[in-house]
Copies of this chain bind each other. A is one copy, B any other.
């Protein structure tokens, strides 16, 4: 089974270089070459290649925009590999968000470009190692639980419980009902929480709880 590839880059020389690389592989067929993003989008829609190799820097529509347009159309099953000279973080995040199957630097050895096309075609993905390192770091922090501020240890269990409810925007009366205690008790707890955390009022408490991850609204 042969894989069809579309090449998009505004440098004709680079395109022919890549085409030459692919032609060494009997199962890879370069079905189109385009020089800008808009042409890439329309040719992908017309030819439905297995893989589109897009440069990020292109006239009219850059590779990221083209990726987004291609992948947002459910009729397309084309996988997108993005190529770039510089690996700006912003590019990477946007590319991955758009659903690209690869983010590679142009310094990639030819045989790895070939393997990348095969990887993308079978639905897997790959990212240049120099980018992966930072991606992991970013991913780790995005998964890491927010650091618990030390002053939170000053609170008793009951006070933390009340703080959670305050953060959920419940009024004192509502909290009292949920905890089956009097509302005067809740007022006492809230006052202690505010004093211990150095917060002015419950509004600050709500903000504090949210920025410190005491409320898991999605994430």
Contacts and interface: CB of A to CB of B under 8 A. Distances in A.
Interface of A: 93, 96-97, 99-101, 119, 123-127, 129-130, 132-133, 135-137, 139-140, 142-144, 146, 167-169, 171, 200, 202-204, 206-207, 210-211, 215, 217-219
* Chain A interface mostly: helix
Contacts of A124: 129-130, 132-133
A169 B129 contact: no
Contact of A169 (B125, B132, B143, B203): B203
A3 to B, nearest CB: 15
| A146, A203, A218: most-surrounded residue (chain B CB, <10 A) | A203
A93 B141 CA distance: 11
A96 B140 contact: yes
A132 B125 contact: yes
A140 to B, nearest CB: 5
B206 A211 contact: no
Given A130-B124, A132-B124, A169 B210 contact: no
Contacts of A202: 203
A219 B215 CA distance: 13
A211 B207 CA distance: 11
A218 B140 CA distance: 13
Contact of A210 (B130, B146, B200, B210): B210
Contact of A143 (B97, B136, B137, B203): B97
A144 B93 CA distance: 10
Contact of A119 (B129, B137, B144, B206): B129
A174 to B, nearest CB: 11
A114 to B, nearest CB: 14
18 contacts: A96-B136, A96-B139, A96-B140, A96-B143, A97-B144, A99-B137, A124-B129, A124-B130, A125-B133, A125-B136, A135-B139, A168-B207, A169-B200, A169-B203, A169-B206, A206-B206, A206-B210, A207-B215
